[in-house]
Chains A and B, each alone.
Chain A
Amino acid sequence: MEAILVLTHADETGAALTRASLEAVTAGKELAARLSASLTIGIVAVDARAVPGSTGARLLAVSGEPFAQPRYATDAAACEALCRAANATIVLAPGSSRFTRVVAGVAHRLGGFIDTHITAIGGAEAVEATRWFYRQRVEGVLSRDARPWFLLLDAGTHAAFAGEPGTAQIEEVAVQLPAIRTTVCGLRAPSQGTQTIRPDAKLLLVAGAGWTKKQADGQTHAAEAGELILGFLHTSGASLGSSKSLVDQGGEGNSVLPFLTHLNQIGQTGATPRHAKGLSTCCHGEEPHVVGWRFIADRRAISLDPNCGWTRGKADVVYVADAFPVMAKVNALLEAGKA
């Protein structure tokens, strides 16, 4: 019989599990119910007792000040100790930046195997993991006989587990810490107002290179384009993506949109975010771009070109129009709605 362990970690506050961790708990509960397997939840946090919620599963925890901050040496030691304590054959973990960098190492220490970017776990009798290959172009389902098998789950693929508040019985697991060479002095992050990448946003706005091209008057209007895009992000709370060509223009020091970095890049050479809705502006829907839209449920596009790639079965609605006046009006309507 399989023994399933779900590795989770607390968020920056230390008082709750991250959303991705709660999604992994949901996946673990579903899998355990399907296979009639034992389920254990492993928590890495400063104080695991501060993490609320009753899961109905055995709870193991590694607590202490060294686990307050992500650090390879301490996180890997914590995950290894949890896996050994649970004697797990299947280990699920959220694909967060904190666990993505340690779980492969933990799998190696335990002589196990790992598969990453898992989007679904199926199979009635055996475990069958689904993931995308070749930049979201091919979907494969795979299974392994080797154990322990580590599965890193992509965020946004499961519903977050909402446990009833309760005093869960937590078993503390002792960890033999290695020599710690890394000291975390603090975090530097852009303030919420200047942050344009918002993974939890419902809407993704993608800005294409058309924003910086010459307009009907023969001039470029990059400053106006920047104001329109930032204004829309501010009023709608959307996340910002961009095509590679526009990001590259910014990196080469041209007078383009200064807030775009390669982290905003969507598509074949960039990210594949998950949002409920996506609005593409001044961006054509050719294949390298569209692989970045694989997990956008409802897609609309504004493009001047009626033969744009978006019209070929890739978007739900394409507006053949100039994005400048449309987005200016959208911003005005959103501002009026807020007021």
Chain B
Amino acid sequence: MLGWATGNLAEPRNNPQIGMANMRNLMPALQKAKPATLAANGLRYVSVALPKQQRTTRVVKDLSPDQIAAEIVEWIGAE
């Protein structure tokens, strides 16, 4: 995770060119880095699964805004 503080300055404007210019310096440095082995320290993945949830979507096409609003308000109020 990368964080930064700008003090009283505004968040800098989005400028992809800066990142591309910095990359010219970063990439050779990364390529020179030596690989390091990461010890597992007894870490085991017991299971890895994709979520299976597939919802049955009710598509409501033919209600007026008033009817939809009434249905939404009833839904919001329901526990």
Contact = CB atoms under 8 A, between A and B. Distances in A.
Do A and B come from the same complex?
yes
B5 interface: no
Nearest to B51: A139
B70 A315 contact: no
Interface stretch (A35-43, A151-159, A298-306): A298-306
B68 A321 contact: yes
Interface in A136-169: 137-146
B57 interface: yes
Nearest to A294: B51
B44 A144 contact: yes
B63 A333 contact: no
Nearest to B41: A146
Given A251-B11, A277-B75, A311 B59 contact: yes
Contacts, number: 115
A319 interface: yes
B49 A139 contact: yes
Given A325-B65, A326-B65, A299 B55 contact: yes
A299 B76 CA distance: 11
B60 A146 contact: no
Nearest to A301: B57
Contacts of A251: 11
Contacts of A326: 65, 68-69, 72
A138 B43 contact: no
A186 interface: no
A144 B70 contact: no
Interface in A185-214: 203
Contacts of B4: none
B75 A140 contact: no
B48 interface: yes
Given A313-B55, A317-B60, A141 B46 contact: yes
Interface in A213-262: 236, 248, 251-252
Contacts of A67: none
B48 A139 contact: yes
B58 interface: yes
Nearest to A298: B75
A329 interface: yes
B48 to A, nearest CB: 5
B27 interface: no
A331 to B, nearest CB: 9
A137 B50 contact: yes
B70 A319 contact: no
B65 A329 contact: yes
A268 to B, nearest CB: 15
B47 interface: yes
Nearest to B44: A143
B57 A315 contact: yes
Contacts of B55: 299, 313-316
A240 to B, nearest CB: 15
A101 to B, nearest CB: 10
A312 B41 contact: no
Interface in A315-335: 315-322, 325-330, 332-334
Contact of B46 (A113, A128, A137): A128
Contacts of A139: 48-51
Contact of B61 (A142, A145, A312, A320): A320
Interface of A: 113, 123, 128, 133, 137-146, 203, 236, 248, 251-252, 277, 279, 294, 298-300, 302, 306, 310-322, 325-330, 332-334, 337
The 5 A-B residue pairs whose C-beta atoms are closest, nearest first, are A145-B42, A329-B69, A325-B65, A141-B46, A330-B69
